[in-house]
Amino acid sequence: MKKNRKVVLITGCSSGMGRESAYYLSKNGYTVYAGSRTPEKLSDIASENLVPIALDITDQNSVARAVQKLERIDVLVNNAGYGLVSTVEEVSEAEMLRQFDVNLFGVLRMCKAVIPLMRREKAGVIVNISSFLGKIGLPLFTLYNASKYALEGVTDSLRYELRPFGIRVHSIMPGFFDTNFARDNLVVNEGIRKENSPYAQTVSQLLPLILEQINHGNDAAQIAVMLHEIIQQSDAPARRTAGDKARKFIPMRRELSDEDFERRVRSYYGI
C-alpha cells in the first residue's frame, strides 16, 4: 500500500452504501479498510487498496482490535445501521436497546476509538451516514427515527468538540436508496404483523409504500461520490442530503411550521 494514500475506515460494508463507498474510494486514491461482521462477503472486491476487516460495532473488543490494526486513520465513515419497524406499544426492551446499540452507541464507540489517532495527527474527517428520517418522524419508525435524530445531535456537538484539533465532522442524510436495506436491514416487530394488532391499518397502509419507495430509490453510488466530495472539501457543509425524498422533505421541514409539515406528511403518505 502506498504510504501517502489517506486511510479510510468504513463500517457496515457488506452491502449497499458501505460497499459502494469502499470500492469507489479505493479506486480514487484512498486505502480503505472495509469493516463488516462478515468480511468474507467483500472478497470479490478486495484489493491492495481495499482491505476487508472483521468489525462488530456493538462489541467494544471488536472495535478496539480493528482500530489497533491501523497506524493511522484519516477518515472514519460511520455507515453501519439498520431500521426497526415497530410501534412504541409493541416494541420489546431488547429491540429498543439493539436499535440504539447499533445506530447510535456503535457510532460513539467508533468515534471514541478513532479520535485519539486523529487528534495526534491534528487532522481527520468523520462522516456519519444518517438519514432524512433524522429530521422527519414517521409512524412505525419511531425507534429508528429517534436513533437518527440522536445521531444528528452527536454530529452537531462533535463539530464543536473536535474543531480545535483540526477534525471535521459531517453528516449525510440519505432519502430512500435502492440497496439491500429493505431486504436485509429492516427488522419488523412480530406484534405489528398480527391481524389483531391495533395498528394493523397503519401497517397495511404505510409499510408497503415505504418498502416500494426504498426498493425503487436512488443509486447508492451517489453516496460514494458525495462522501468523496466531503472528504476533499475542507469547507464542506455540516450536512448534506442525498436522494429525491431527502431533497423534497428536508427543505420543506425547514420552511413550514411543525403543524403544517405534519399535515403535508400525513397527506403524502395517507396516514
The residues carrying an active-site annotation are 14, 130, 144, 148
Under a CB-based contact definition with an 8 Å cutoff, are residues 226 and 240 in contact?
A: yes
- What is the spatial distance between Cα 91 and Cα 93, in angstroms, rounded to a whole number? 7
Length of the chain: 271
47: β partners? 50
Write the burial class of residue 252 (CB in 10 Å: 0-12 exposed, 13-18 middle, 19+ buried): middle
The number of beta carbons lying within 10 Å of the beta carbon of residue 201 is 10
Q: What is the CA radius of gyration of the chain?
A: 19
* CA dihedral (72, 22, 112, 125) positive or negative: positive
- According to DSSP H, which parts of the chain are helical? 16-26, 60-68, 93-100, 106-121, 142-162, 181-184, 200-215, 221-232, 244-255, 258-269
Q: Which residues contact 112 (CB under 8 A, 6 or more apart)?
A: none
